[in-house]
Structure 1
């Protein structure tokens, strides 16, 4: 097989190795990475990994016409590869699926990761829990991770309806206006507040009754972290994981039975979750 002006992969690899990829243009850096991956000795996939690839391939074949997607589109747009074979190798079981590839396929095929890889879905849930200081590894119950000492501050427990317009109401809120105030050693700012988790959409990490502390101002958007958002068309306030992938942003429930919410002009992110408390019934 000849590439880039007739060079064979081995010759091109030798040239690129000598030239050092840091000084190459984008085209050759991509080709270098692709060829290096091809030249590496591939390990044999496990039975579980082969089942995952087969399940993903079946989903792809069933949905590609309906969704108008091709292997080339997924490979080049989603996987940022140079050829269609990057997608094909996952679908045919030549390469084992990893988290990044699984997220790309799930986004293009509009399915949940656990529909083809319960293994990677579980890995993703554990990483999501770790992002807020929880350790789910090897335990059925969530364990809180120790935090450095800070002076506690109390914040009000408010309703989900109130949270939708909290930034406007915060300055007029007084200690007697809330029945419950909860303390935290995490700084949630002057307008921080607690919400009580409702429903199963964020299980297994966040269960109904848990309280989440929200910073309502001066927060950054970080992929993988958790946020409260308002849907302007319905007035609904929701709590989800923020993810940015391939230039697109969306809100992801941890419970795969619930749909992903693409971030459009209808979605306004109104706070970042910075702390969490277990429900009293579990203590």
Structure 2
């Protein structure tokens, strides 16, 4: 489980760091942030902003984007601590601008929060996403990639998807974003429920000579044959490794 207090405290520390770099005064920062957000159509109370600065809460998606645009930092860094810190020309162009209120709803949809759930909950999610209640989640975190409203996040356990050599790797503690509504094809990373044990696993969907199976990135682990009883719960559409 991700410690919510640690996430909030680390976000607050990075926010202060970005404000320092931007030359924003130390005293009265809450007022300065409030004025800035208001000018771009993001309306937050001074009490809410104070909680960000004191490590008591995380900024919501619309506020996070506006802060990154203002302070010239990457959202992945401000929210999660993923380097690099500064925006590049490419990341700036990709960043949705908060120029007016008409853009806000689109940004919330593009960078919505998804529940961080347990692997046990992921098994039940395969059955019916409608049965999930918001308070069942360990936490709600923003997804930095497009994802449907059915999407969710999982914290990787074990090292079956850790690459011992070069290439993409998903070590223990890595956060993955799963979209049940996105079609999974051969070569995609997927979350699947395997028969008999009904356990949920994270693997690569692969095939060879007509044989379809789930392949771990770590070659020390066995592949898992896909049968009629295997259920692909969703495609992994994004990931990040917390600091």
- Compute the TM-score of the two structures, normalised by the length of structure 2: 0.52
Alignment counterpart, residue 162 of structure 1, candidates 109, 121, 125: 121
1:120-175 deviation per Cα after TM superposition (whole angstroms, max 9, x unaligned): xxxxxxxxxxxxxxxxxxxxxx988x774353210000010111120444223343
C-alpha distance in structure 1 between counterparts of 2:193 and 2:138, whole Å: 24
For 2:95, which of 149, 155, 158 is the aligned residue? 149
| Structure 2 counterpart of 1:197 | 156
How many residue pairs align between the two structures? Answer: 138
Partner of 1:188: 147
- Please say if residues 149 and 185 of structure 1, whose CA atoms lie closer than 8 Å, have aligned partners that are also in contact: no
**Which structure is higher in RCO with an 8 Å CA cutoff and minimum separation 6?**
2
- Is the partner of 1:256 in helix, strand or coil? coil
- C-alpha distance in structure 1 between counterparts of 2:118 and 2:237, whole Å: 18
The partner residue of 1:207 within 157, 160, 171 is 171
Q: Does structure 1 conserve the Cα–Cα contact (< 8 Å) formed by 2:184 and 2:234?
A: no
* Unaligned 5+ runs, structure 1: 1-141
How far, CA to CA, are the matches of 1:174 and 1:221 in structure 2?
A: 26
* Distance (whole Å) between structure 2 residues aligned to residue 263 and residue 143 of structure 1: 37
Instruction: Name the structure 2 match of 1:254.
Output: 217
Aligned to 1:277: 240
Structure 1 stretches of at least 4 aligned residues deviating more than 2 Å after TM superposition: 146-151, 167-170, 172-177
- Distance in 1 separating the partners of 2:125 and 2:193: 11
Alignment of 1:15-94 (within 5 A): none
* 1:257–1:265 distance in 2 versus 1, CA, 3 Å: same
Once the two structures are superposed, what CA deviation does each residue of 1:177-215 show, in whole Å capped at 9, x if it has no partner?
Answer: 323111013222111000000001000201000110000
